[in-house]
Amino acid sequence: MELGIFSRTYETDNIEETCLRMKAERLVHTQFNLLNAGMPTLPETFDEKKIEEIKEITGKYGILLDALSGTFNMIDPDKEARKAGCLQFETQCRIARMLNIPIVTLCTGSKNKESKWKWHEDNEKQSSWDDLMRSTETILKYAEDNHIVLGVETEASNIIDTPEKARKYLDCVGSPNIKIIMDGANLFRKEQADDMSRILQEAFDILGKDIVLAHAKDFTAKENMEFVAAGEGMLDFKLYVSLLQRSCYSGALIMHGLSEAQIPGSRKFLEEIIANA
């Protein structure tokens, strides 16, 4: 298992600069965001020459694009915005195919009007589930047409907020083109932090066979639940990595939720965990 990183950890819109900074940190795997190439995360259109440029420069530096960020609010309370997100997603899948990226990531979304990353009680409604399934039906065809796997993860603020709901989602869709992005920190709510082993093991029991990508961020649960860089919180990474290995996951472990200055410390911490697993 090798380490990788979210490309947006590097706050630059220059693809060559992104690659240079990754190589300086001895990182070759990334979950790529098109913002790092001076494009919108979800472009409506694209220039094929720009995509060729991305392919050429990442190839020059040996950077492996493990996944492409494609997050939009799949249950957006604004129906027109939801429709637009689905349409843009077709472009995202085409770009992923052109760049030989196997996975495009999803945000199952929230009915919160302010942010898709904030909870809303309407997420619990059957109508919200129905919206999710309608959006999924639309984008799944784009994924299948372009031979792309869609990656979904549990998010406390989203409609898919537990491993059980993620399992229900995968089973309802019933397609090999939707799989799981495992993020250990996302499995916990504040009151569950003391039940670390059980929560982690149950999540892998439920979802382990469908993992296509793994994230590495940490969390603290003092006054509020906060995400922090791997190694600076309370997630049992020794158990987390061992469970990934037992699930026969052989992909990259993508560092997430950290600043560029925190990369060396998190990388060292995770490399030791992996080496001793």
What pLDDT, in 10s, does the model give residues 28-84?
999 999 999 999 999 999 999 999 999 999 999 999 999 999 999 999 999 999 999
| Residue 234, helix vs strand vs coil | coil
| Residue 200, helix vs strand vs coil | helix
Q: Domain extents for the chain?
A: 3-276
In the block, residue with structure tokens 């302010």: 114
The pLDDT value given to residue 86: 93
Q: What is the pLDDT of residues 192-251, one digit of tens each?
A: 888 999 999 999 999 999 999 999 999 998 878 899 999 999 999 999 999 999 999 999
Q: State the SS3 of 261-272.
A: HHHHHHHHHHHH
- Whether 38 and 13 have beta carbons less than 8 Å apart is answered as yes
- Give the Cα separation of 216 and 184 in Å (integer): 7
Cβ neighbours of 147 (radius 10 Å)? 11
Q: Is domain 3-276 given the CATH code 3.40.50.11540 in the classification?
A: no
Can you give the pTM of this predicted structure?
Answer: 0.94
- Give the Cα separation of 117 and 61 in Å (integer): 33
Q: What is the pLDDT of residues 112-131, one digit of tens each?
A: 999 988 889 999 999 999 99
- Whether 85 and 50 have beta carbons less than 8 Å apart is answered as no
